[in-house]
Amino acid sequence: MNRISGDTIFVTASHDTSNGIIGVNRKGQVLSVSVDEENIVAYITNVLQNPDLALRVAVRNNLGGAEELFVRKFNNMFNNMQYGEAAKVAANAPKGILRTPQTIQRFQQVPSQPGQTSPLLQYFGILLDQGQLNKYESLELCKPVLQQGRKQLLEKWLKEEK
């Protein structure tokens, strides 16, 4: 295991300049520690060989570096007709990498099953639960809502700044 000091660290504090922490060990050495946000996800994936952890770290901290993992997981779920799970992956992917017109188009191409919510509406529902839609999502969601004559839903979402 790697250590930042061979001696016990007895005090730490936030270090805003480096977005990390500073600490003082028993010998009086001042140590600075920060996470390399550009490489942490790749390190977890390649060195620790734990892609699930890499995905969770990327989601929780909105970090890049896991784009390929998210795309692969999304495609796997989508191809296995797990549309709800695929929608969650797309919604949680950092930096909105899967919240694109192409993703919407893929959900639009899936036929609806009688008696079930369409995959496209599942996707939009998950996005709305998590926050605001982007401009593409907003436009595409308006079409079916207006076709169904449910203008009050649009008014509600506008008031909620969705």
pLDDT band at 3 (very low <50, low <70, confident <90, very high): confident
pLDDT band at 1 (very low <50, low <70, confident <90, very high): low
Please answer whether residues 85 and 73 qualify as being in contact, where contact means their C-beta atoms are separated by less than 8 angstroms. Answer: no
C-alpha to C-alpha distance for 12 and 96, rounded to whole angstroms? 35
C-alpha to C-alpha distance for 120 and 127, rounded to whole angstroms? 11
C-alpha to C-alpha distance for 5 and 75, rounded to whole angstroms? 44
pLDDT tens-digit profile of 119-141?
Answer: 988 898 899 888 888 888 888 88
C-alpha to C-alpha distance for 95 and 107, rounded to whole angstroms? 20
For the domain spanning 39-160, the CATH number is 1.25.40.30
pTM for the whole structure = 0.69
pLDDT band at 38 (very low <50, low <70, confident <90, very high): confident
pLDDT score of 68: 85
Q: In which residue ranges of the chain is CATH 1.25.40.30 found?
A: 39-160
Three-class DSSP category at 12: strand
